[in-house]
Amino acid sequence: MLRRPGPRTRDGAAGEGRRRRGGRHRRGDDTPAATGTGGLAGLQAQLGLVAQCIEAGVATRVFSVSLGGFDTHADERNLQETLLSYLDRGVTAFYQRINAHPAGRDVVVLIYSEFGRRVRANASDGTDHGTASNVFLLGESVPGGLYGEQPSLTDLDDGDLKFTTDFRDVYATVLDRVLQDDPGRALGGWQDSLSWW
């Protein structure tokens, strides 16, 4: 999750809220605390913690959560369906909650995978790592729609889909439009961006 910079308070912190004392959260259950890399908490718990931070006005501008389990190479259909339903439920609940808060208009959700999948199934009725993948952006400031070209399932690059949008264009656009930062600093001088946003 990414947030535009908020108004500065007298002590220099962005936002209006105050931080709670102590690192404990009020949950009433044994669910482990979320961490920046996912930890042992489920996606909904991680996103719930991010929502609490945003609602409290914590000055953090970038939050990271994760959903593991996608590194499968066999019998993928059922597992992918299950994992994508977790993603759908978690992100939907988060977006509905944060959209009801005034700070929600400044939140952009960027969802990506660290690897794509090859087109041809392997011998285990799964697929192996590939080079092209999807990126999803969600937020009030993001124009809706599907962007990029539909990849060909026959015109491949050594068995991999050919990407039609460079991920650095996505990151550069988010750095510029959401975080109001120079993308070249973080992306080794990269200056291209998405033309539609």
Q: Which of 83, 172, 102, 93 shows the shortest CA–CA distance to 138?
A: 93
Over residues 75-118, the pLDDT tens digits come to: 788 888 999 999 999 999 999 999 999 999 999 999 998 888 88
Confidence band for 3, pLDDT divided at 50, 70 and 90: low
Which burial class, exposed, middle or buried, applies to 139 when counting CB atoms under 10 A from its CB (0-12, 13-18, 19+)?
buried
Over residues 9-25, the pLDDT tens digits come to: 333 333 333 222 233 33
Cβ atoms of 65 and 38 closer than 8 Å: yes
Could you tell me the pTM of the whole model? 0.74
**Number of helices followed by number of strands (H, E) in the chain:** 4, 5
Over residues 41-76, the pLDDT tens digits come to: 699 999 999 999 999 999 999 999 999 888 888 878
Over residues 164-189, the pLDDT tens digits come to: 889 999 999 999 999 999 999 999 99
CA–CA separation, 51 and 63 (whole Å)? 10
